[in-house]
Amino acid sequence: MMQLDAATLTYPDGDSRLVAVDAVSLTARPGTVTALTGPSGSGKSSLLALAATLIRPDSGRVLVDGEDAAGLSPADAAELRREKIGVVFQQANLLPSLTAHEQLTVMNELGTRGARARRPAVARRADELLSAVGLDARRDKRPHELSGGERQRVNIARALMNAPTVLLVDEPTSALDQERGAAVIDLVVRLTEERDTATLLVTHDLVHLPRVHGSVRMVDGALVGS
């Protein structure tokens, strides 16, 4: 479960501060997708960065499975992020030289001791996730051989490698046409239900809202209801 409790985030802005997230309280429950909509610049990505524990709030709390991430040291926050939070950014950020399967397993190789012992289980997990996103037949393709929608599906599969309890997805459809965009949203909904993640999904495309479990709208950093 992901909870923001009166979380506020500001950025320096000349002599003053720009309030990007304004006392936002929000709960994302396991097995549900909560859509976050709002105009460009309203603070959606800033809110996701708070939820991802990539930035600390100026005030308020960010609770991941009940634990206040804002109170953790940077090292402990990094561990919490690695174990519990999957993030899908707008750009897939895949490594050009790696196959789809390797995009999912490379983190293990860069990780701590025991990588070699974990390798078979990690490879099986990558196979299972590529299958879940419908890419079994594409597992050995590199990014330039994949379509935009397929790259986004690799991105989503990669975010699920560590079996996160929280899944944060920022505008996954922005580079896709309507039909492919809808398929990606449906995929996020299905994986959320199957894997019981508490999912926050940023989208400016209101056409997708009937597919998700709930939605909130941001204007000028604040939530304005659904």
138 binds, among ligand ADP, Mg ion, none (CB under 5 to 8 A by kind): none
Q: Which of 2, 28, 35, 44 binds ligand ADP (CB under 6 A)?
A: 44
| Nearest distance, CB of residue 169 and ligand ADP, angstroms | 13
| Nearest distance, CB of residue 132 and ligand ADP, angstroms | 28
DSSP 3-state of 150: helix
Q: Which of 38, 86, 149, 172 binds ligand ADP (CB under 6 A)?
A: 38
Strand-strand pairing, 16-28 and 198-202 = unpaired
174 near Mg ion (CB under 5 A): no
Q: Which of 1, 18, 98, 182 binds ligand ADP (CB under 6 A)?
A: 18
Q: Of 148, 147, 122, 127, which is closest to residue 137 (Cα–Cα)?
A: 127
Only segment of 8-16, 45-53, 93-101, 121-129 that touches Mg ion (CB under 5 A): 45-53
Q: Which of 41, 71, 111, 214 binds ligand ADP (CB under 6 A)?
A: 41
Instruction: Give the DSSP letter string of 37-54.
Output: E--TTSSHHHHHHHHTTS
DSSP 3-state of 173: coil
45 near Mg ion (CB under 5 A): yes
Helix (H) or strand (E) holding 25: strand 16-28
Instruction: Tell me which DSSP letter residue 163 carries.
Output: -
Q: Which of 20, 24, 51, 126 binds ligand ADP (CB under 6 A)?
A: 20
Q: Would you give the distance in Å from CA 182 to the centre of its chain?
A: 17
